[in-house]
Amino acid sequence: MSSSIPHDRLTGALRRQSVKKNVAAIHVSGKLTLLQRKLSNVLLLNAYDSLVTRSKHQIDARTLCMMVGYNSNDMDTLKQSLRSLAETTAEWDMLDANGRQEWGVSALLSYAKLSAGVCEYAYSPALAEKLHDPKVFALINLNIQRRFTSGHALALYENCYRFLRTGSTGWWPIDLFRRLMGLDGSAYYESFKHLNAKIIKPAVAEVNKTSNILITPELHKMGRQVSEIRFLIKENPQLAMLDIDDGEGLRQGAVYTALMELGVSDRLARQWISQHGEDYVSEKIVYLKGRGGVDSPVGYLSAALKNDYKAEKPVAPTPKAKAAAV
């Protein structure tokens, strides 16, 4: 089967190339198989625009199978995968809007059903709110995810890609890493020798061969035992130069049009949108236009995207200054 998705057969949100994955969703889905992980991403892409406004979502079952990349006549496999998503719990532990720690748990899907060739499904309201939160997310390219053959490699890619701009995942305790890979509770992988040989090395090799990032593991020891692991991350220049998608979905967007008006090349515009997401690129375009008189808009925008330039917030006037202005 082709590794690219035929976008001329898709409509609406499915024409996008990427899906936002909230940190909480990524961190708890380690025990999903490769097929279930891909299915979860496609369902989220399909529902994303209406996650918090609609209580249920629908997608043509054969289109769903096509986007995940398996035989569209195999409904039994689809049923089993949906059942697994409904039985898998998502757990988050993050700061809420007021800066307070919030813990929660929910099934990945509150329900799913297949009827008349249509898959209908829903998220719990609490999980939908977290999945839709744009503050902390990874941008998962669906054409890239179709290239993966290992669930552990895709899980590693998802957990590393969101740190691309910082260049490192930071140190993860080995127990946390096992959990992210869905290996907690496995006596065999308590041995770091087994973990390294069977999981880390093959997963790193597949990420570096398959995806748009290159990762390098680093280990920290406590005595003779490996206690922590981190991954250094950089762009994969070879894959970044490839046309990962046919580009038609991106070319129809307002952000792509704005980039064209600034003189950005077609390939670079699609690469930026696929890598950073339309919201982030749009924010930096607004920032650029607010600067005025920039000699090299494309170069400046590139730096703004890479370094996350932000407009300075105005300082609130003091009570004394307010009184003087009256």
Within the chain, where are the H helices? 23-28, 34-47, 61-68, 75-87, 125-132, 142-145, 151-161, 174-180, 192-195, 201-210, 237-240, 248-251, 254-261, 266-276, 278-291, 297-307, 319-325
Q: What is the mean pLDDT of the chain?
A: 80
Other Cβ atoms less than 10 A from the Cβ of 91: the count is 11
The answer, yes or no, to whether residue 175 has pLDDT greater than 70, is yes
Judged by average pLDDT, the poorest of 102-106, 185-189, 213-217 is: 102-106
pLDDT one-digit tens code per residue, 72-86: 677 888 899 999 999
**Mean pLDDT over residues 194-206, rounded?**
96
Comparing 1 with 62, the larger pLDDT belongs to 62
The answer, yes or no, to whether residue 162 has pLDDT greater than 50, is yes
What does CATH list as the number for 1-137?
A: 1.10.10.10
pTM greater than 0.85: no
The answer, yes or no, to whether residue 18 has pLDDT greater than 80, is no
Judged by average pLDDT, the poorest of 83-97, 106-120, 134-148 is: 134-148
pLDDT one-digit tens code per residue, 226-258: 999 999 999 887 765 443 444 555 676 788 889
**Mean pLDDT over residues 117-123, rounded?**
95
d(CA 38, CA 105): 21
**Mean pLDDT over residues 272-276, rounded?**
77
The answer, yes or no, to whether residue 185 has pLDDT greater than 60, is yes
Question: Please, which pLDDT band fits residue 99 given cuts at 50, 70 and 90?
Answer: low
pLDDT of amino acid 29:
44
Are 310 and 284 a contacting pair, CB within 8 Å?
no
pLDDT of amino acid 1:
46
Q: 140 in helix, strand or coil?
A: strand
Per the listing, tokens 């930071």 go with 170
Other Cβ atoms less than 10 A from the Cβ of 265: the count is 11
What does CATH list as the number for 147-238?
A: 1.10.10.10
pLDDT of amino acid 318:
63
Judged by average pLDDT, the poorest of 37-51, 129-143, 203-217 is: 129-143
The answer, yes or no, to whether residue 321 has pLDDT greater than 80, is no
